[in-house]
């Protein structure tokens, strides 16, 4: 299963990708992050001390995280914001550590976290981003792949990729 999670400002992009994936015969679910539906990670360590790897705060992440955890592939759709995620999208990204292996490993001579074999794609929605912003966005997603061991790619849409191209790359990866 593929889970697509969209910032509500760009939910139509996420829905377009879901439709293209479905046309290709792939089971895909599209979830939209509700305005102020997710509380920030307060770094309270409650997920390590009070409720094993589960956030101690009840919010919309309770709906979204099980889908991500039970997917082979997940996709975040965000307005491209200063070369990265929007506030809403980052709220869920900040909680992704809950899904991973808590241990450290060494890969390519560096310490990394082990988070399984998931595929992680990020769609940064922008019509006019410059080269510096595009590079920063690709770098950010690449670094997340490095530290987690996930595979995947950063897409800038619609400037570079349309929904059909993205669905094709996701299914062929």
Partner 1 sequence: MRNYLIINASPRPKSTSLLLANMCKAYLDEHERQATVVSMYQGGGPDGLIDAIMGADVVVISGPCYVNTYPAAVIKLLTEWEKRACNGQIIYGMIQGGMPYSHTHKSGLNMLELFAAKNGLSYKGGFICGLGPLINGGTIDKLPNSKALRRQLTVFFANICNEAESGASVYERARMRVPALLARILANFMNRSIDKKYAARGYDACAESPYKTDNI
CA distances from 102 to 82, 106, 156 (A): 30, 14, 31
Question: Is position 165 an interface residue for partner 1 (rule: CB under 8 A)?
Answer: no
Residues 92-151 contacting partner 1, CB under 8 A: 93-94, 96-100, 102-106, 109-111, 132-133, 136, 139-140, 143-144, 146-147
- Provide, rounded to whole angstroms, the least separation between the CB of residue 110 and partner 1: 6
Question: Is position 46 an interface residue for partner 1 (rule: CB under 8 A)?
Answer: no
Q: How many CB atoms lie within 10 A of CB 173?
A: 11
Contact residues: partner 1, CB under 8 A: 40-44, 48-49, 52-54, 65-70, 81-88, 90-91, 93-94, 96-100, 102-106, 109-111, 132-133, 136, 139-140, 143-144, 146-147
């Amino acid at each position: 299963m593929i889970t697509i999670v969209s910032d509500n400002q760009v939910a139509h992009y996420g829905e377009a990708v879901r439709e293209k994936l479905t046309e290709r015969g792939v089971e895909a679910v599209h979830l939209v992050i509700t305005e102020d539906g997710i509380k920030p990670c307060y770094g309270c360590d409650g997920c390590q001390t009070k409720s094993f790897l589960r956030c101690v705060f009840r919010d919309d992440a309770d709906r979204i995280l099980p889908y991500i955890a039970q997917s082979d592939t997940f996709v975040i759709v965000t307005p491209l914001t200063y070369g990265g995620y929007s506030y809403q999208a980052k709220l869920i990204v900040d909680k992704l550590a809950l899904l991973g292996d808590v241990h450290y490993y060494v890969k390519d001579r560096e310490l990394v976290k082990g988070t399984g074999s998931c595929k992680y794609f990020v769609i940064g929605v922008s019509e006019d981003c410059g080269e510096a912003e595009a590079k920063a966005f690709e770098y950010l997603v690449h670094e997340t792949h490095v530290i987690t061991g996930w595979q995947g790619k950063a897409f800038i849409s619609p400037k570079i990729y349309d929904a059909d191209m993205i669905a094709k790359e996701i299914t062929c990866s």
